[in-house]
Amino acid sequence: MAGQHIGSVVAAVFGLVYVEVNAGELPPIACWSVRVLALVFLVAVGVLARTTRRRGGAEASPRQEGGPGGRPAPFGRRYWLIVVMEFATIVAGARVLSGPLERPHAGVAWVSLVVGAHFFLLAQHFRLSFFHVLGAAITGCGAAGLVVAFTTGAAPVVAVISGVVPGFILLGSAGWGVSRRPPRPRQTPRGTADGATDAGVSADGAARR
């Protein structure tokens, strides 16, 4: 499966977790309706990923997508460095919110703020401008949740704004990602790098003529 589709499925799983964890703050009927809807979205993403893969045939694997002249290796060291930084920032902020600031219900807003910010880094890493849009949307949800947490202190509102809504944003973006065929890696131009030898042979042949 191509890196774009792997990332979309991962986003869908995290979106489901977002919704399932934070929907508990809603009234029972709304809670279970939202949870079932999120599960349906996840199944739809899985079906779309499978269908698109079959329709598109064999796609380049994540390892094949990297290399000279192409996109960076999707899940290389740079990617995992971003993930580690994200995790450390989330943990540190959550401890401050639940400790000195006494706003444990603001934790989900902080998570969304950090997750949204990390998409800006991924946009540069994967060279996908769409991640800027996704990052802005989730960061906005996180910032709005923090404002609510430190003003009204309404935990259910924070859970919906910074948990349920970002969850569906991730699910929707995952559906969009798996419905598109991944871009093919760019070929190295002839006459440069790996094509230098072929160009030399062609020039030698022309000289002999």
pLDDT digit string (tens) for 87-145?
999 999 999 999 999 999 999 999 999 999 999 988 888 788 888 999 999 999 999 99
Q: 132 exposed, middle or buried (CB, 10 Å; 0-12, 13-18, 19+)? A: middle
Kindly report, residue by residue over 50-82, the tens digit of the pLDDT: 887 777 654 444 444 444 444 556 667 888 898
At residue 182 the predicted structure's pLDDT band, cuts being 50, 70 and 90, is low
Task: Read off the tokens for 52.
Answer: 């698109």
Q: Which residue has the higher pLDDT, 101 or 202?
A: 101
As a whole number of angstroms, the distance between CA 178 and CA 56 comes to 11
Give the pLDDT of residue 96: 96
pLDDT of 186 higher than 70: no
Q: Is the dihedral of CA 82, 1, 167, 91 positive or negative?
A: negative
As a whole number of angstroms, the distance between CA 176 and CA 155 comes to 31
pLDDT of 5 higher than 90: no
Q: What is the average pLDDT value for the chain, to the nearest integer?
A: 80
Q: What kind and span of H or E run contains 138?
A: helix 130-151
Of 18-22, 48-52, 60-64, 146-150, the poorest mean pLDDT is in 60-64
pLDDT of 4 higher than 60: yes
Give the pLDDT of residue 22: 94
- ∠ CA 132-104-160, nearest 5°, is 50
Residue 121's region, left for phi above 0, alpha for psi from -120 to 50, else beta, is alpha
Q: How far is CA 126 from CA 79, 121, 123, 144, in A?
A: 9, 9, 5, 27
Give the pLDDT of residue 108: 96
Give the pLDDT of residue 180: 72
pLDDT of 194 higher than 60: no
pLDDT of 150 higher than 90: yes
What is the SS3 assignment for 195? Answer: strand
User: Model pTM?
Assistant: 0.75
Give the pLDDT of residue 123: 86
As a whole number of angstroms, the distance between CA 122 and CA 82 comes to 8
What is the SS3 assignment for 99? Answer: coil
pLDDT of 175 higher than 70: yes
| CB contact at 8 A, 192 and 186 | no
As a whole number of angstroms, the distance between CA 111 and CA 24 comes to 17
Give the pLDDT of residue 73: 60
Give the pLDDT of residue 2: 57
At residue 41 the predicted structure's pLDDT band, cuts being 50, 70 and 90, is very high
